[in-house]
Amino acid sequence: MSKTMRHHWLLLGACGWVLLILMFASKFINFRAADDYGERTGGQSWTEPGTKVPSVVPSVADWQSVVEKRIELLSAVCKNNTLRNLTHVSISKFVLDRIFVCDKHKILFCQTPKVGNTQWKKVLIVLNGAFSTVEEIPENLVHDHEKNGLPRLSSLTPQEITERLSTYFKFFIVRDPFERLISAFKDKFVKNPRFEPWYKHDIAPAIIRKYRKSHRDSEHAGSGLRFEDFIRYLGDAEGRRRMDRQFGEHIIHWVTYAELCAPCEIHYSVVGHHETLEQDAPHILKAAGIDQLVSYPAIPPGITRYNRTKVEHYFSGISKRDVRRLYARYQGDFHLFGYPSPNFLLN
C-alpha cells in the first residue's frame, strides 16, 4: 500500500472517531437544565405524549378554555377522597410564607421553586415600582427576601390575609413533578450556583448517612449526594418527615405543590404550566390586568418542554421499588395538574 493511500485511510479513520465522539457527547447536551433561564441549553427536546405544546399562541378564548379545564380538573381531584391525604393541607404559615403579595395590582403569587419562579418574582418587583424593567433587576436582589420589596402573605394580619385570598388574582406555575425533582437535585446538590453551602455541607451528608446503602460508601461521601440517595430520602414517608424538621424551609425545592400552595383550600384564578409557559405567561399577565405594565422575560427556545430522555437518564439506576415509593408521594401532584403517570418508570 502506498504512503498516500495509508495516509488517506488514517485520515478517514480519525474522522470516524471524531464523529463517534461528537455523537456520544451530543447525547448529554440535552441533560443540562436552566430553569431560571440564566444559561443557554442545547440539544433536542422531547414532549411526552399528552403534554401538548402549541406552536402558536392561542386566542384569549382558547386559553381561557384551557385554564377553566385545569381548574375543573383540580377541583375534581380535590373532591377525590382516595387522594385526600396527598392533596389537602391546612393554610399554615408555611403556605402563607410561599405567597408573595402585590397590593398595588391585587395579585398573589405562590412560589413553586424550580419552575421559573425567579422570573415571576422579577415581574412582581417591577410592578411594585422598584425597577422599570425586569432586565434591570440584579439576580442577587431577586432572592434576597429582606430587600427585594416583596411582602409575603404571612406578614399580614388574619383579616388582611382573608380579604386578599378572597379578592385578589391568585396564580402559580407547575411542571412535571419528576422533572422538577431532577432540577432541584442539580441546582442544590450539584451546581449550587448561588452558593448555598448548607445543601452540600448539612443536608447532603445527613441524607447520605441515612439512605446510602453501603456504609463503606457513606464514610467516603466526598463525591457528594447521589440522585439515588435523594430519591430514597424523598420516598421514605416516616424517616423523611423527621429529617425535614431539621432541614427547615430549605425543603421547599422538593416538597409537593399541594404542600407549597394548598390548591385544594385556596381557590386560585390560574394555574400555569411550565411546559406551555410561552403561551401561558402573556395570557396570565393579561388576565391579571398588567400586560401593559410589564413583560415576562424571554424564554430560551425549547427550554420548557418536558424532556423524557433526561428523566429516563436520571432514573436509569433507581430501583422500581424506590420509584414506586417516590410516585406514591407525588401522586397527588400528578393527578391535580393532569400530568400522565410515569408508567415508563413504574412498570
DSSP state letters, 41-86: --S-----TT----SSPPPHHHHHHHHHHHHHHHHHHHT-GGGHHH
- Which of 13-22, 83-92, 126-135 shows the lowest per-residue confidence on average (mean pLDDT)? 13-22
- What's the pLDDT score for residue 182? 97
* Helix-helix angle 227-235:320-336, to 10 degrees: 60
Inter-residue contact 125 to 148 (CB < 8 Å): yes
Query: One-letter amino acid identity for 343?
Result: N
* Residue 15 confidence (pLDDT) above 80: no
Inter-residue contact 175 to 275 (CB < 8 Å): yes
Nearest to 340 by CA among 51, 38, 35: 51
CB atoms within 10 A of CB 302: 17
Nearest to 138 by CA among 296, 152, 130: 130
What does pLDDT average to over the chain? 85
* Residue 124 confidence (pLDDT) above 70: yes
Q: What number of CA atoms fall less than 13 Å from residue 53's CA on the CB side?
A: 19
pLDDT digits (tens, 9 = 90+) for 287-336: 999 999 999 998 988 889 999 999 999 999 999 999 999 999 999 999 99
Q: Which secondary-structure segment (H or E) carries 109? A: strand 107-110
pLDDT digits (tens, 9 = 90+) for 237-261: 888 988 999 999 999 999 999 999 9
- What's the pLDDT score for residue 209? 93
How far is residue 98's CA from residue 36's CA, in Å, rounded to a whole number?
Answer: 18
* Residue 41 confidence (pLDDT) above 90: no
Q: How confident is the model at residue 13 (pLDDT cuts 50, 70, 90)?
A: low
Written as nine digits, the cell of 195 is 452558593
Q: How confident is the model at residue 33 (pLDDT cuts 50, 70, 90)?
A: very low
Inter-residue contact 17 to 29 (CB < 8 Å): no
Q: 43 vs 150, which has greater pLDDT?
A: 150
What average pLDDT does this structure show over 265-285? 96
- Predicted structure pTM score: 0.83
pLDDT digits (tens, 9 = 90+) for 187-226: 999 988 778 889 999 999 999 999 997 655 544 444 689 9
